[in-house]
Amino acid sequence: MPAPVPAPAARAAATLADVLGVLRLGSDATVGVARIAEALHATILHRIGIAGAPRGGRASGLTGGIYDAVRGVARLSGRGFAALSGSGLTQSASVPSSPARDAALAVLNGVWGDHLVATGNPLAIPMQWRRGGEVLASNRAGLAQQLPQATGHIAVLVHGLCMNDRQWLRDGHDHGAELAQTAGVTPVYLFYNSGRHVSENGRDLATALGALLAAWPVPVTDISLIGHSMGGLVLRSACHVAAQGDQPWLALVKRLVCLGTPHHGAPLERGGRVVDGLFGLSRYAAPFVRLGQVRSAGITDLRWGNVQDADWQGRDRFDQHHDDRQPTPLPAGVPTYLLAATTAAHASSRRSRWLGDGLVPLASAWGEHPHPTLALAVPADHRRLITAANHWDLLSHPQAGEALRDWFSR
């Protein structure tokens, strides 16, 4: 059964919880900006040689009191907004979600998702299964009512960074809906906080898949996994967790398809680390390093393509200066298919190799790596390249649909 087609995007309808969440985020930002301003102020006073100038980025005397007051008011406001968020007053003001609201939440979570979770902000997206923007039930009776034509072949679609499940529909095309017609699958779409660590989302996805199978209204015979961009890493992480824990759903997986997945990282995140380093070369610019470090754990995982907890635990996540990940092989016995794109007109060009689809280099999308324990070694006939296309074209390009139909027919 094809997935319901979402309504055209409209103005985002914000709940009271949304408003309070944004206000709390604003309070957190005020505290951060005050720290940057104080550190810059202290650095300038010290460098120009004023007697008694503060050290260590903290101001003293009346000036320090002003900065403390600003931070204190911001924190007090944040606690007030937090109290209102948890008071139950926000429940009565909830409204159905919309494409515009989902898009806004997806971006906020992609950039600050780990912070939203750490601070208990109601803007943090809880992991959920959806179809057409509607949350699926967690019990058999509810799923049977929502999916009356459910089949035993589930196709799980997982979106990328700063995106949401509705965005699988692009230019009138949805891979899940098409495969429902051509391959008899029942597509379900994951909506999750892409700012959390990939391994955290992978662990939760492994659990969520087990719960989905337990509640599925008909016996499940096949599972197909499809991930776009970061979604492919989250799926690989979930498979790794399932293999370690001997979770039964993994035995039903018949294929893993990754569309433009940065298996070995993306240059833009590595560029963010370089910018952090350049800021740190100047005493005056050093306070602004904090601006570069507001990016989420999910984003920093894209530096090298972290999949396991062991890839980032035990150190500050900004301190991963080289590719020292633990090898994470593809799930054993599961055919894996990789779809990549290049903005170049010819696959053999240097631009095709280094720039790839504009975000993910070709070698990363195809899992190629000079170290054999990190290389994915996917057979050539399980890989497909689309030329003159970008990262998002993989969601709607006719050749992408053709590749999926081919791989699902095998």
Query: Does position 18 have pLDDT exceeding 70, yes or no?
Result: no
Specify the number of domains making up the chain: 2
Contact 394, 339 (CB under 8 A): yes
Indicate whether 117 belongs to any domain. no
As a whole number, the mean pLDDT across the chain is 79
**Using one digit for the tens of pLDDT, what is the confidence trace for 260-272?**
999 999 886 554 4
- 174 and 33 within one domain: no
Query: Does position 26 have pLDDT exceeding 60, yes or no?
Result: no
Q: Of 80-94, 153-167, 287-301, which gets the smallest average pLDDT? A: 80-94
Indicate whether 283 belongs to any domain. no
Q: Which two tokens stand for residue 250?
A: 């993994």
Contact 117, 187 (CB under 8 A): no
User: 93-102, 141-150, 290-299: which has the highest mean pLDDT?
Assistant: 141-150
- 64 and 133 within one domain: no
* Domain edge (last residue) among 95, 114, 142: 95
Indicate whether 102 belongs to any domain. no
What mean pLDDT do residues 357-380 have? Answer: 94
What pLDDT shows up at residue 373? 94
- 81 and 166 within one domain: no
Query: Does position 43 have pLDDT exceeding 60, yes or no?
Result: no
Indicate whether 62 belongs to any domain. yes
- Integer angstrom CA distances of residue 204 from 57, 77, 119, 200, 258: 39, 32, 19, 6, 19
* Domain edge (last residue) among 44, 75, 95: 95
Indicate whether 316 belongs to any domain. no
> Would you tell me the crossing angle of helices 61-85 and 16-47 to the nearest 10 degrees?
170
Indicate whether 271 belongs to any domain. no
Percent of the chain, pLDDT > 70? 68
Contact 367, 264 (CB under 8 A): yes
**Using one digit for the tens of pLDDT, what is the confidence trace for 64-111?**
444 344 344 434 443 443 444 444 444 433 446 789 889 888 988 998
Q: Compute the Cα dihedral for 279, 284, 289, 294 and give only its sign.
A: negative
- 132 and 253 within one domain: yes
Indicate whether 174 belongs to any domain. yes
- 210 and 253 within one domain: yes
Residue 93 and residue 88: Cα distance in Å, rounded?
10
- 199 and 149 within one domain: yes
**Whole-structure pTM value:** 0.78
**Using one digit for the tens of pLDDT, what is the confidence trace for 376-404?**
999 999 999 999 999 999 999 999 999 99
* Helices H / strands E in the chain, number of each: 13, 10
End-to-end CA distance of the chain: 21
- 156 and 53 within one domain: no
- 138 and 242 within one domain: yes
What range does the domain containing 149 cover?
A: 128-266+324-409
Indicate whether 67 belongs to any domain. yes
